[in-house]
Amino acid sequence: MNATTTTAPARRRVDHPAAPSEASAIWLVAEREIGTKLRSKAFVISTAILFLAALAGLVFGGLAAQNQSGTPVAVVSDAASLVPSEAGLNVTEVPDRAAAEQLVMDGTVDAAIVPDPSAEPFGYSIVAKSSAPTSLMLGFAQVPPVELLQPARTDEAIRYFVAIGFGVVFLMAASLFGSTIAASVVEEKQTRVVEILISAIRARTLLAGKVIGNTILAMGQILVLAAISITGLSIIGQSQLLSLLGAPILWFAVFFLFGFILLAALFAAAGAMVSRQEDIGSTTFPITILIMAPYFLVIFFNDNPVVLTIMSYVPFSAPVGMPMRLFLGEAQAWEPIVSLLILLATCVGAILLGAKIYQNSLLRMGGRVKLAEALRG
C-alpha cells in the first residue's frame, strides 16, 4: 500500500490595519466631539437663540438710540433757528454762551447749541459735558463740531453694554462647552466606553481630542458672534462705535481661544475625578467660580481702571479685562502682548496639570477621587 503524505493547509495571513498616528487619533476624537454636538438638537437650538439674541440686541440698541426724544438742550437766542425741528428736543433758550455752559455743567440740559464763528461752514457748535446726546447728533444732516467741557473716553451707557457683551459671551461659551466636556467624560466612565477607548489610544490623546473639538466649536460661536456684531453695527449706522470695537473684538477672540483651552483642560480633569453625573458639580464648582468672577467684575467695575488693570493680567479674567481696557483706550500697545504671554504660560501649566489628573483618575470607578490622589497617581 502506498503511503499518503498529507500537507497541513497554509495559514492565511491576516493584515491588521495599522494603528492611527497620534495626530490622526486626536483628530478622530475631535471629530467625534464636534459631530456629537452638531447632532444635538439642544446645542443647535441654544446656539441659534444666542445668535438671534445678539442680533436683536444690536438692532434694538441702534433703534433706541435713533428714537430718543425729549432730550433737554440749551440754545443761545442767536442760534435758535438752527435747532432741528424733527429731533423732538426740549429746548431752553439762554442769552449767551456762558449761561448755556452753566446749564450743561449743572446737568440741567444734556447739551447746548451756541454760535461759533470759527466752526466753518456751520457757524455754530455743540457744547456737552462728557458726551453729546445721540438724539441731538442724529438730527443734523451734517454734524457740527462738538466741544466737551469734561471729556470722557466713552459714553457710560455704551461702556456698560460693552462690558455686559464681553462678560456674557465669555460666561456662556466657557460654561456651556466646559460643562459639556465634564459631562462627556463622566458619561464615558459610566458606560465603560472609556475602557475601550483607552485600549486603543492614550489617555492624553483622548483628552487632547476633546479639548480641540470643543475649542473649535466654541471659537466658531465666537467668530459668528463677532461677524454678527460687525454686520449689525454697520447696518444700523454705528460706524464710530464699530471703529472703537474692531480691535477689542479681535483681541477678545485671541484671548478667548487660549483662555478656553485652559478651562477645557481643567473641566475634563474635574469630570474624570467622579463617576456619576450627580457628582460633577462638586469638582467643577471652583472652575465655575473662575468663569463667573470676570462676568460680575467687568459689569460692576467697568469704570474702575485699577480693577480692570488687575483683571487684564489675571489669566482667568484677561479674556474679558484686556479687551475692555482696549475699548476704553486705557491699555498701552504692549500690554495685550504681555498679558497674552502670561495667559499662554498659565495655559501650558493648566494643560499639564489637567492631563495628569485626567490620566490618573479616568479609570477609577466608584467614589470621587481626591485631588491629592489624582495628582499622585
222-281 pLDDT, tens digit each = 888 888 877 777 776 666 667 777 788 889 999 999 999 999 999 999 988 888 888 888
Spatial separation of the C-alpha atoms in residues 142 and 122, rounded to whole Å: 9
- Cell 467614589 locates to 367
Q: Which of 310, 331, 319, 309 minimizes the C-alpha distance to 153?
A: 331
- Quote the pLDDT of residue 313: 95
Class (C level, CATH) for 69-148? alpha beta
- As given in the structure block, the three cell numbers for residue 64 are 433706541
Spatial separation of the C-alpha atoms in residues 161 and 218, rounded to whole Å: 22
Cα→Cα distances 130→32, 150, 155, 299, 326, Å = 53, 5, 8, 21, 19
Mean pLDDT of 292-313: 90
Residues with Cβ within 8 Å of residue 73, at least 6 apart in sequence? 83, 89, 90, 91, 92, 109, 110, 111, 112, 113, 133, 136
Q: Parse the chain into domains and list their residue ranges.
A: 69-148, 155-376
pTM score of the predicted model: 0.71
Check if the beta carbon of residue 220 is closer than 8 Å to that of residue 213: no
- Quote the pLDDT of residue 11: 54
Tens digits of per-residue pLDDT, 86-122? 556 777 888 888 888 888 888 788 888 887 777 676 6
Tens digits of per-residue pLDDT, 327-375? 888 888 899 999 999 999 999 999 889 889 888 888 788 778 888 887 8
- Quote the pLDDT of residue 315: 93
- The lowest-confidence range among 47-51, 177-181, 354-358 is 47-51
Spatial separation of the C-alpha atoms in residues 335 and 328, rounded to whole Å: 14
Spatial separation of the C-alpha atoms in residues 273 and 367, rounded to whole Å: 9
Query: What is the DSSP code (8-state) at residue 1?
Result: -
Check if the beta carbon of residue 86 is closer than 8 Å to that of residue 103: no
Mean pLDDT of 2-26: 60
Rounded to 5 degrees, what are φ and ψ at 110? -85, -25
**Average pLDDT in the chain:** 80
Three-state DSSP class for residue 365: coil
Spatial separation of the C-alpha atoms in residues 377 and 375, rounded to whole Å: 6
- Cell 478656553 locates to 260
| Strand order, beta sheet including 71-76 | 89-94, 71-76, 111-115, 124-128, 146-148
Element (H, E) at 217: helix 203-235
